[in-house]
Chain A
């Protein structure tokens, strides 16, 4: 089951560049929330603050609070490692581990967390691949095929399976289909539709039609600020802010 995310006065910097400004947001559990906005508006940076990936880049700073369920992400006693296990991430370009088989790719996170039992691993790998709608395509060559030998769309679903295997509560997706062809893209979108029953999903996308298709809620970012956050329907048919209207009608970005 997914949990909600509460973002309070979140700010983030790259060196001296103020990339994310005073974000106040409540992301609802078990729904998909889309983050849209023009290039450079800070949407990727924002999302990377949710699982503490932003701080892995040198010279960066984060201020404010993020609560995932009952846990303070930036709390004193919270470890980044633990947060990243509970919050899964899928990147723009699929990045399966090329030296590992499909099986090992999915099991990678599990092995890090100490899973050794063969049967348990087999079960979880199968379950994750089914959830990612990849099982049927790879079940006969799980250990023979390397992660990098799959097609682009399959690789991305592999990365989703890999993220799902460690049982996260939240799934962050940073433009997951932008590097894929239309058929793979629609497969991923179907997947997101299925996944939101069990996970809270935040998806960054520059494709407004995609946001309209998969997400119940949408947030519009502009130059680091959250301009509007509402039900997707409202954002795309009757936005409250003029800047939102300008963006979705294509006047810029």
Chain B
């Protein structure tokens, strides 16, 4: 008869459960701490000034990050114009046409691109745009962020399109609808909420990036709406102010961080709402 040291094994079991629960607590504690601190410090530092003013000369108080918020918007717009069509197009290609070796090559390359550190992408955008244009610009920043959006959107678009049942496509072809029309009006339409989700997620992801903007958009203390000139960006401004010796600027860093995280949380919640309305909406 086997005698098992059951009390010892039972103790191990309980200890492990405790450790695993403890690990979860330890991991979620910084989450609570970060969000809590952001809200606490950020809300306190928010003011109308902050949202409407541009930075005041060093040492003076009362400036704001209005130009950085708008600048980020400009850069993200350019990034989306570059990244979204390319990403969706690649996703469509991989889902509808790219089943064989070439498709695998593209998929692999997209994964590679996904793993490239954002600062390296910044270097490339610098070489491609800043050097040729001989100046820092919002365009360069948009190119860098756009490149980063492509693999994220492509992967998700492909996944969503593959989830559309083949019978739907075949029904369309059987009716004499050409391939291109089928893909656009039927397949894409069916997967649309999933794709929108992916686009918004990639948007939220690159909205917080500052590394690739450091030597592309570079930053600007003034308003700028010219895409071919250096532009302020919210994450970049947060970085510059975080290490500032001036109290007022550090305070603004927190306010900026609060706005940034607010934007990200809002887009992610929108994503959840869109996604929960179901993958197969519209079209039918």
Contact = CB atoms under 8 A, between A and B. Distances in A.
Q: Tell me, yes or no, whether A and B come into direct contact in the complex with CB atoms closer than 8 A.
A: yes
Interface of A: 79, 81-82, 85, 110, 112-115, 166-167
Nearest to B7: A79
Nearest to A166: B2
Interface in B22-37: none
Contacts of B5: 114
B130 to A, nearest CB: 52
Contact of B6 (A79, A110, A166): A79
B4 A114 contact: yes
A85 B6 CA distance: 11
A81 B6 contact: yes
A249 B160 CA distance: 52
Contacts, number: 22
6 contacts: A79-B6, A81-B4, A81-B6, A82-B6, A85-B4, A112-B4
A179 B19 CA distance: 40
Interface residues of B, number: 8
Contacts of B134: none
Nearest to A79: B6
Contact of A167 (B1, B9, B10): B1
A81 B9 contact: yes
Contacts of B10: 79, 81
B1 to A, nearest CB: 7
A23 to B, nearest CB: 29
B9 A85 contact: no
B239 to A, nearest CB: 46
A112 B8 CA distance: 11
A113 B1 contact: no
Contacts of A113: 2-4
Contacts of A82: 4, 6
A104 to B, nearest CB: 18
Given A79-B6, A82-B4, A115-B2, 10 more contacts: A79-B10, A85-B2, A112-B4, A112-B9, A113-B2, A113-B3, A114-B4, A114-B5, A166-B2, A167-B2
Nearest to B8: A114
A115 B2 CA distance: 9
A150 B6 CA distance: 33
B159 to A, nearest CB: 28
A6 B1 CA distance: 22
Nearest to A168: B2
B12 to A, nearest CB: 11
| Most chain B beta carbons < 10 A, residue from A110, A112, A114 | A114
Lowest 9 CB-CB distances: which A-B pairs, in order? Answer: A113-B4, A113-B2, A114-B5, A167-B2, A114-B4, A166-B2, A82-B6, A79-B6, A81-B6
A80 to B, nearest CB: 11
Nearest to A115: B2
Contacts of A81: 4, 6, 9-10
A79 B1 CA distance: 17
B46 to A, nearest CB: 46
A81 B4 CA distance: 10
B18 to A, nearest CB: 18
Contacts of A166: 2
B11 to A, nearest CB: 13
Contacts of B3: 113
A178 B131 CA distance: 71
A110 B1 CA distance: 12
B28 to A, nearest CB: 24
A105 B53 CA distance: 70
Contacts of A110: 2
A81 B9 CA distance: 10
A192 B6 CA distance: 30
Contacts of B4: 81-82, 85, 112-114
Nearest to A167: B2
Nearest to B5: A114
